[in-house]
Amino acid sequence: MSTDPAATLSSHQRHFVRLAQYNTWFNGRLFECASTLDDAERKRDRGAFFGSIHDTLDHILLCDRSWLGRVRRSSMPFPSLADASLVEDLSDLRAGITQDWDELRAARAETDAVMERFVDELTPALLESDLAYRNSKGLPFSSPLWHVVAHVFNHGTHHRGQVTTLLVQAGVDPGPTDFVITALMPFPGAD
């Protein structure tokens, strides 16, 4: 019999724990790479969905905090979200969190830590529960929580891929970032 606590987790739970670790690692790597550029280069409009490297990273943070805010407003019990800095109402996907690089980097690290604690609190019953929420246009939706959590990680990966391209175009190579490659890496704090 295994004494490893991870051995008792469902495959969904283990998957989300690993995605949260990957999310933290990938965000840290991109912020480290982007920090080699000056502020003007990070904020230069490069034709991406959200223009610049800075604004794309800011958008990812805004959406992560918005989705976690939707979960916090539900009746689901997540102590990790109780005192977290989250976005309660999102009506503009371009609103952003901050234009200050150091604040953005600190807010990203803080939110990544919250996301790791949040996925540690997921249970099979919670993952199968429906989350009722309103989108940024105020339209009502309901989705199983597992679907929402998968979307949050997928959305971040989608936009981090854009940031990776923008960094390479700016002359900064972030190196390999695929989940399948890094899935074998021991992330800091990983079991």
Q: pLDDT tens-digit profile of 112-146?
A: 999 999 999 999 999 999 999 998 888 999 999 99
3-state secondary structure of 132: strand
* Helical H segments across 8-52, by residue range: 11-34, 39-43
3-state secondary structure of 142: strand
Query: What does the pLDDT read at residue 1?
Result: 36
CA 21, 65, 30, 149 torsion-angle sign: positive
Give the mean pLDDT of 157-172.
97
Any residues with CB less than 8 A from the CB of 56 and at least 6 apart, and which? 48, 49, 50, 159, 162, 163, 166
Q: In the predicted model, is pLDDT for residue 3 greater than 60?
A: no
Query: What does the pLDDT read at residue 180?
Result: 82
* Whole-model pTM over 0.85: yes
User: Contact, 141 vs 133, CB < 8 A?
Assistant: yes
More confident: 10 or 5: 10
Is residue 34 classed exposed, middle or buried when 0-12, 13-18 and 19+ CB atoms within 10 A define those classes? buried
Q: In the predicted model, is pLDDT for residue 76 greater than 70?
A: yes
Q: How far apart are CA 96 and CA 10, in angstroms?
A: 35
Q: How far apart are CA 55 and CA 95, in angstroms?
A: 10
Q: pLDDT tens across 31-74, in order?
A: 999 999 999 999 999 999 999 999 999 999 999 999 999 999 99
- Domains and their CATH numbers in the chain: 8-182 (1.20.120.450)
